[in-house]
Structures are given as structure tokens and as C-alpha cells.
Structure 1
């Protein structure tokens, strides 16, 4: 099973751009969701994810598994050569990038295109925050925002919302009067408000008209979210109101079974398991994927790495996801849930075919 799974060229359907050489953070930062340097220095080196990753990188690089050995090896290569080696080892056929994470510090999506066919996921909040200060009225903003969403280039294959970081995933519709009041008070950052609700609802209307997938951060992440407000169940009112495909990111972890449930009962819900895989322990990754398999239709599961900052995470996401997928599929065969042929077909769907279909990507 492992050999068959490793041979599949995958679609990494949610990741982020690599940082510019001059904007690099400490190596340990890539293995933490924290912004705190004390966490990077004192806690991250003691996580299972970090320690396992050093050994996995040594197997690829052949340089030794100490932090210094890994850092010396990667620093001896150009960023282009390092990225090329890691993306080749990741075995990807498409890469979808949300370029809204620290946009001033990252390389453009086109830079990544030299290694693997690359596409953009447009972050809705960033676009809205760019346009809002340029507009004199809510009416003008709404017109320009919808026009911008309608006229995205072919490189944009979907949208992304970070509602979980802006007050939570439960977003009710707003009145025009309340949105106008919030517009007059806007100071640069969209957070939970009638204006934010208006932005999200407009975007979901456009996505529904264009049949474009909308990715939503769910579950754990950076410390500026409230975990209980990122449970994917909070998306139900939007899922039921709008026809566009909803992509629940990060398996909703720790609300993984809830995410699987949503994909089993709504026709417009998909679940991705990036970030949870590879950030969790091996047992945690296997359990997370197994929980998705409990209810989720196999044609509604998507692979991603959620890589950011450094190219190693594209590879580590692929490596660990393939290992967990192989293990869970073997268990399905042993439990007679699937035949071996069905299990291999499921791997092809999850790693590649489901995303090709959802995002209308070339084979």
C-alpha cells in the first residue's frame, strides 16, 4: 500500500508562499503556530513534530539529524535549489497558495511556478482591507469588491476566509444600516462586525455564482483565534445559505469528527487535513485521518500540507500524510471496509483526483 500511495503525484490544495531570503525567521518558527520567540526557543525544540522532522529531513538530506547539521546543510544551498529538491521529493502535480500570510515578506506565487504548476487562492479579508480605505461609501466599496472578485485572473482557482481569526466562524447576515455605520468607523482591520458580515456574504454570493471553492480556516492555529469559535459546525448557516463549495481546512482539529459529519450530509462540503498532518504526533495523525474516514465520503477528502515559511514543510506534509494515509487504508482493508483495489483508488482520490475536479485543474 505504501508504495502505491507514494507513487501518486499529489495536489497540495492549501499552502503558503515561502518567505524571501531577507525575511527568513528562525528555523524553529516553521514548526510552531506561535509568534513568540520564547516559544520557538524553549518549547518548539521539545515537540514531537520538530524532533521527528529532524530525523525525516536527515533521511532526505543525509547530513545528520542535529538541528545544526540540518541548518548547515540548508544554508549551503540556494533557496531555489533547496526548494527544487524538496518539492521534487514531495511529488506534487499542483500547488495552491494562499498568499495572504505576511504578503510583504513572501516570494510571489509565480516564483513557485518554476518548480510545480502553481495557482492562487485569494484571501478575501486582504482584498477587502485593501479596497476599503480607497472607497468613499459602502456602496462604492461593495461595487468594487464584487467587481474584483468577478474579474480575478485564471491563476485564482478559489477563495479563502480567515473568519475564525476575525471573531469566529458563525457569521450572521447584517443590515445595510449597520454595515454603513461600521464602514464609517473602519480603521484598517476587518473584525466581527456588520461590515465584516457584508464582506463575507458578498464574497460567498460571487463564489456561488462562479462555482468557486471557498476555503475556511477551522480548528487550531495561531494564538489570535479562539478555538471554541473555530469549530466547523459554526459554518452550518453559511453552508445551507450558499451553494459554493466549502473547504474545511485542517480537518477542523480537534473538531475532526464534526468536520467529517458535515462532509457526509451536505453536498457542498469538502474536508482537508493539512496542518493537523504533519503537526501532530504519529498517533495523532493516524487518529485524525481515521476519524475523517468514519463518516466522510472518500470523494470529499483533500490533501494539503499547509506549508509556510520554508520549503521543508511542503515535503514533510507530503511524507507524513502519505504514511498516515497508507496506514489507515491498510486498516480499512484488514477490517474489510475496503478492498485493496478500493483503497488504492481512495488514495488517488484523496491525494489528487478530488482536488483536480474541485478546482478544475489540468490533469
Structure 2
């Protein structure tokens, strides 16, 4: 199979973005757009912007043509064109050009600022389903009013209702504590005591759930639903402590839930993507992706994709973009993944290491088939 044939097959794939957030609603000013292109909470050094990055250069190379601009157009011209078209048209163009057939949208982060799953689907003629964030459900339960004794039952009831409409659950315990958590489920007395401590802290303005006992309780309540359970791993904003986000720290938990037949989905994973690949290799219920990493590494994304394909079984790898906010992130997640997969697999075919048919099959598995199987999605017509 010639490189052009493989490229055509990969370009035609209707991807399943198995972990994504909504695109931003409303216009983004210069500062808002710049903030959307970094995991840092701080501005770029004086005289620079967050566009001075692999991600920023990828925006100017791959998103500019979608907005009728030449590749590598200057930032001011890009932002002026973005404003001229308006956010609705920019979002429609970028999401449509991404070629995603199904979005699995995690709705637990700043949901008021982004498109809903239904709006994401309508914008580009795709389908969508929801992934529910456990910590957000717990915070909603607390905000509605509950005492320590009733917290566990109320959380279980609300999660049960939310999970009926969802295809997966997600935890951000990596941010709130770290992946080096006690793998055992806490007892009822421990949960009541922890809920009491947290609810008292909420009265002083500390609304964010970070108690390690309650975080473990959320996980184990989620496990009971049997849905794929997503975990943020590795690269993210400054709220996390990176060395505590190594997925190997979860090994005890992975062993504990193995017999529950709950798929554990390791998201992003950089710089621990090789470790995540190992875990997917040795545990039957572990899967991984490099969604956020592909976007942020830009021109180096093919190296990250190649490293992910080293030991992870090909039936355990999934595509995601982790786009949130500027629709450029959703578009680049797809564009850079397609380019990386085409380059890496094409090279192996050229060297005679792989057949062309195998390259196509693996691209289809990672881009769509694995997600449809694990999440129980219908095949497209």
C-alpha cells in the first residue's frame, strides 16, 4: 500500500473522540484565546504569547486554512479573521473539518461556558453522548443540601440517575489528591466522618472536594455502575503534582477492580504514556490514549504516537482530543493524530515491518473501533 492510499483511508475515518469537552460559546478576546492554549494559569513571558509554542504554531499551520488563511499566518491576522467570522462559524468550520463522527463529552468542567453534547453534535453533523464527572456530581449533591449521614445515599441516588444517560464516568482524583491513593474502598463510618469534615469546610467557602476518603468513595460507587471509568493521568494544569500522576501508582486499585470487568481508561498520560501502555499491556481492563499530549506536542506528536504504539495492545488504544474551549483544540486533536498515525504506520509499511492491510486495521481500531466496542456505541450507518 502506497503512503497516499494509507493517508486517504485515515483521512476518511469518522473518528470517535472518546474524551472531549465542549467548544467555547461566545467570542474570545486576545487574552481569552491565549489562555485557551495553555495548561498554565499564568501569562506568557513579557513580549511573548502562548501562541509561541508547539500548540500555537500548530494552530497557525493547520487551523488557519480552515478559516481561509494561508498556513503559518501571523497571530494578529489569525485573530482578526476569527473575529470577522464570529465564534459560531469558526466553531462550525473547525469541528466539521475535524471529521469526528461521535463525541463522548465530559460535562463536569465549567459547563456553562461550553457547548452541550447535543450542541456539539448539531454543530458538525455528528452524534454525541455524555461522560459524567464523579466529583462534580458530589459537589452538586452538597450544594443542594445534605448532611453527613445522608451524603453517601444521596450521592449514590443522583449518580444512578445521571449514569443512566451516560456512556462513561470520569474521576479527577489526580488533581484533587494524586493517583497514589489507598486502593481499598472506605467503610461507611469513614465516609460519614469525611463527609462531615468536607461539609463543614464548605461553610467557610471551600467547595472543592479534595478529601481522599470521599474521593475513594466516589470511585468505588462509580465502579458499581460498570461503565468505563476514565482517569486523568499526567500532563495538566498547575493544580496537580505531576510525579503523583504516574499511573503505575494506581496499580493496587487496578488489581482490586480487575474482576469487576470495569474498563479503566487512562487519559492523556504524557509523560507517562509508555507506563500507561505497559499497564494496558498487562491488565485486561486497562486502556489508554494520548489525547491532550498529541495537541500540545504539535510537530512532535508523531513521536508521542509512535511511543504509545510500542507495547500497548492495539485493541487497547483510543483516540481523543480533550478539546475544551477554543474549537482549534478539537480540530488539532484530530488533524495531528491523523498525520501522526499516517506517518508512523506508513513508515513501518515502507520498511516492510507491517502490511498495508494491518496498518489500515490498526488505524481504524484506534480511531473508532475500540471506542465503539468499549463504550457500547452503535456502529455508524
Give your verdict on TM over 0.5: yes
1:59 and 2:65 are equivalent in the alignment:
yes
Give the CA deviation at 1:80: 2.8
Give the CA deviation at 1:326: 0.8
1:160 and 2:170 are equivalent in the alignment:
yes
Deviations 1:7-37 (A, max 9, x none): 1110111111122216776212221111223
Give the CA deviation at 1:107: 3.0
Give the CA deviation at 1:81: 2.3
Question: Matches of residues 198-277 of structure 1 in structure 2 within 5 Å?
Answer: 198-206=217-225, 208=226, 212-242=227-257, 243=260, 244-250=262-268, 252-277=269-294
What corresponds to 2:23 in structure 1?
18
TM, length-normalised to structure 2: 0.88
Name which of structure 1's ranges 295-304 and 53-62 shifts more when overlaid on structure 2. 53-62
Q: 1:162 to 1:270 in 2, by over 3 A?
A: same
Name which of structure 1's ranges 347-356 and 22-31 shifts more when overlaid on structure 2. 22-31
* In 2, Cα distance between equivalents of 1:30 and 1:240: 37
Deviations 1:17-64 (A, max 9, x none): 122216776212221111223469735132122023212222322324
1:91 and 2:60 are equivalent in the alignment:
no
Name which of structure 1's ranges 22-31 and 60-69 shifts more when overlaid on structure 2. 22-31
Task: Judge conservation of contact 1:29–1:40 (CA < 8 Å) in 2.
Answer: no
What corresponds to 2:196 in structure 1?
184
Name which of structure 1's ranges 97-106 and 329-338 shifts more when overlaid on structure 2. 329-338
* In 1, Cα distance between equivalents of 2:7 and 2:27: 39
Name which of structure 1's ranges 197-206 and 320-329 shifts more when overlaid on structure 2. 197-206
Task: Judge conservation of contact 2:57–2:298 (CA < 8 Å) in 1.
Answer: no
* In 2, Cα distance between equivalents of 1:104 and 1:95: 18
Find the partner of 2:120 among 100, 112, 136: 112
Task: Judge conservation of contact 1:305–1:313 (CA < 8 Å) in 2.
Answer: yes
Q: 1:220 to 1:153 in 2, by over 3 A?
A: closer
Q: 1:292 to 1:38 in 2, by over 3 A?
A: closer
Give the CA deviation at 1:191: 0.9
* In 2, Cα distance between equivalents of 1:171 and 1:133: 26
Name which of structure 1's ranges 321-330 and 168-177 shifts more when overlaid on structure 2. 168-177
What corresponds to 1:195 in structure 2?
214
Backbone CA RMSD of aligned residues = 2.0
Aligned-partner SS, 2:36: helix
1:351 and 2:361 are equivalent in the alignment:
no
Structure 2, unmatched stretches of 5+, are 1-5
Aligned-partner SS, 1:26: helix
Task: Judge conservation of contact 2:141–2:158 (CA < 8 Å) in 1.
Answer: no
1:48 and 2:54 are equivalent in the alignment:
yes
Deviations 1:162-208 (A, max 9, x none): 111011012213343333222111122211422222222222222x3
Find the partner of 2:89 among 81, 87, 106: 81
Task: Judge conservation of contact 1:180–1:195 (CA < 8 Å) in 2.
Answer: no
Structure 1, unmatched stretches of 5+, are none
Aligned-partner SS, 1:33: coil
